[in-house]
């Protein structure tokens, strides 16, 4: 009887691994809106994330499951599974006095604001004399997103990564 042994290199192992719970995946992406405008892209700097821990938006994570290294695909993500729908109550007019120590308030500026739900990032959308309109929605809220994705790497997560709930190292989270 002849016994055949297969020696799998790390590279071959990566190619047969699939993205599942507690696997770190690296991917290149281009993010576009419904009009085809590029909103963001990885530009040769793959993003690493720990699958199953909400590190990336739900609609994209769902479509990553089961993919392997080398897979290229387009993921359509509706706003509800992306950055959420716009909430008009998060758009408020506040007095200039709320911005103590800031001399010149301009449209597009971002601030951290304290609310009963904790800290929120808000963007100035209108300046009308002493009345400042701020929007607490995510800049991509209400937008259907299209991701062009290429999976460039897959590996098992370390115990630390699973405990911390995110990928470490290149393309992932760096602790200081």
**Rounded CA gap, 79 and 135, in Å?**
17
pLDDT at 114: 78
Compare 102 and 52 and report the one with higher pLDDT. 52
The pLDDT value given to residue 67: 96
- Assign 3-class secondary structure to the chain: CCCCCCCCCHHHHHHHCCCCCCEEEEEEEEEECCCCCEEEECCCCCEEEECCCCCCCHHHHHHHCCCCCCCEEEEEECHHHCCCCCCHHHEEEEEHHHCCCCCCCCCCCEEEEEECCEEEEEEEEEEECCEEEEECCCCCCCCCEEEEEEEEEEEECCHHHHHHCCCECCCCECCC
Give the predicted TM-score (pTM) of the model: 0.79
Q: What integer pLDDT is reported at residue 110 of this predicted model?
A: 92
The per-residue pLDDT for 23 is: 95
> Domains along the chain?
10-83+142-164 (3.10.50.40), 88-135 (2.40.10.330)
- For residue 112, the model assigns a pLDDT of 87
């Amino acid at each position: 009887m002849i016994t055949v042994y297969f020696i799998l290199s790390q590279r071959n192992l990566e190619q047969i691994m699939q993205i599942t719970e507690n696997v770190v995946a690296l991917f290149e992406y281009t993010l576009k809106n419904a009009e085809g405008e590029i909103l963001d892209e990885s530009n040769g700097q793959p993003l690493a994330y720990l699958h199953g821990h909400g590190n990336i938006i739900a609609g994209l994570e769902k479509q990553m499951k089961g993919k392997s290294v080398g897979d290229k695909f387009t993921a359509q993500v509706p706003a509800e599974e992306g950055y959420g729908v716009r909430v008009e109550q998060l758009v408020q007019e506040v007095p200039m006095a709320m911005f103590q120590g800031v001399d010149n308030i301009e449209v597009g500026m971002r601030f951290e604001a304290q609310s009963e739900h904790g800290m929120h990032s808000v963007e100035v959308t209108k300046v009308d004399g002493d009345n400042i309109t701020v929007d607490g929605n995510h800049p991509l809220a209400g937008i259907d997103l299209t991701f062009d994705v290429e999976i460039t790497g897959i590996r098992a997560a370390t115990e630390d990564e699973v405990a911390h709930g995110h990928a470490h190292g290149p393309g992932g989270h760096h602790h200081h």
